[in-house]
Amino acid sequence: MELIDLRSDTVTRPTPEMLEAMLRAEVGDDVYGEDPTVNRLQEMAASLVGKEVGLFVPSGTMGNLAALLAHCQRGDEVILGNKNHSFLFEAGGLSAFGGIHSCQLQNQPDGSLLLSEVEAAIRPDDAHDPITRLVCLENTHNRCGGTFQSAGYTRDLAELAHSRGLRVHLDGARIFNAATALGAAARNLAGPVDSVTFCLSKGLCAPVGSILCGDHEFIRRAHRARKALGGGMRQAGVLAAAGIVALESMISRLGQDHERAQRLARGLGEIPGIELENGMPATNMVFLRVAPPIELSDAELLAGLRKQGVLVGATGPRRFRLVTHYWITDAAVDRTVSAVNSCLSGSPAARV
């Protein structure tokens, strides 16, 4: 039985074309800046998001942390959403390694921050206060449901931040999903911000890696931070080669993942006891809640689905996340809907 893994788009395996490119990759020592494949990937990436320079990093987490370290000094404050990945799921790296203080604002349903709240959170120049240095956005926004924010919103936020002397970092782990959903170019979404991280190893299917982009001076600082964090890789062209294939051939197909997320949501939404948490999905994530009359525990549901070859993510009591990606076909979507249906209707075959 083929496993249907909907826990995340991070589970995507490299495509045959990527494996082929990895095998043929020309490499050098990237710590010396001598890996031609890494250099090419960084140039392509920077141009896609309209920035001067790109820096290949092992993960989105390191990209965000290197950005924070490059923008902030110890004791500086960053304004970010209380559901942002950097706040919730990066092991507190910003305070552990950067000594950076965080001011958490409530994310709006689309993942944005209210401009009025950002403005109110900027500290006065007073010796009692940390120095507000940076605002962090996330687009698409993972915990808000894979939602996206428009280029207009990003521009307004950046204008406000810049007018007060702050910089803006965008966690654009899935920026190409946002761009696809908006029918916009990624460079329009990233244009107004000072730095952006995006991931090659999520919907774009590369096995490893993210890119941090910004201007020369910012990337010079981020490069040093990457080294300090142990992210200076040597013959990384082997990985970058897959990243190049990802940028060349995987962005234009992301809409298929969004359509499949819609198909999945429509199917699941018809099952009694399932509530779609954010309505129809904006991109490639379906968040759902299992309503109280259903007696199955979360562990029983996960185990019942696993028995039928379906893996989904648990995101909280009676809350689950299903993420579509390259390896999820229409047939896999339909099989998932029937598996959930049979678990919830108490089919003995699905019980553990």
Residues forming the site for ligand TLP (CB under 6 A) = 8, 10, 59-61, 85, 89, 138, 142, 171, 173, 199, 210
Q: What is the smallest separation between the CB atom of 122 and ligand TLP, expressed in angstroms?
A: 24
Q: Which two tokens stand for residue 22?
A: 């990895």
For the chain, the straight-line distance linking the first and the last C-alpha, in angstroms and rounded, comes to: 18
Lookup result for tokens 């809350």: 319
What are the two backbone dihedrals, phi and then psi, of residue 265, each rounded to the nearest 5 degrees?
Answer: -65, -40
- Decide whether 89 or 109 has the Cβ nearer to ligand TLP: 89
- Decide whether 8 or 283 has the Cβ nearer to ligand TLP: 8
Whether the Cβ atoms of residue 250 and residue 45 lie closer than 8 Å to each other: no
Listed residue (194, 248, 200) closest to 62, CA to CA: 200
Question: Amino acid identity of 24?
Answer: R
Q: Which residues contact 316 (CB under 8 A, 6 or more apart)?
A: none
Q: What does the alpha-carbon distance between residue 154 and residue 4 come to, in Å, rounded to a whole number?
A: 35
- Decide whether 37 or 142 has the Cβ nearer to ligand TLP: 142
Q: What is the smallest separation between the CB atom of 109 and ligand TLP, expressed in angstroms?
A: 16
Q: What is the smallest separation between the CB atom of 81 and ligand TLP, expressed in angstroms?
A: 11
Q: What is the smallest separation between the CB atom of 64 and ligand TLP, expressed in angstroms?
A: 6
Q: What is the smallest separation between the CB atom of 299 and ligand TLP, expressed in angstroms?
A: 20
- Decide whether 94 or 344 has the Cβ nearer to ligand TLP: 94
Q: What does the alpha-carbon distance between residue 352 and residue 303 come to, in Å, rounded to a whole number?
A: 7
- Decide whether 272 or 316 has the Cβ nearer to ligand TLP: 316
Residue nearest ligand TLP, CB atom distance: 60
Q: What is the smallest separation between the CB atom of 127 and ligand TLP, expressed in angstroms?
A: 34
Q: Which helix (H) or strand (E) holds 159?
A: helix 151-163
- Decide whether 324 or 341 has the Cβ nearer to ligand TLP: 324
Listed residue (23, 53, 22) closest to 215, CA to CA: 53
Whether the Cβ atoms of residue 156 and residue 100 lie closer than 8 Å to each other: no
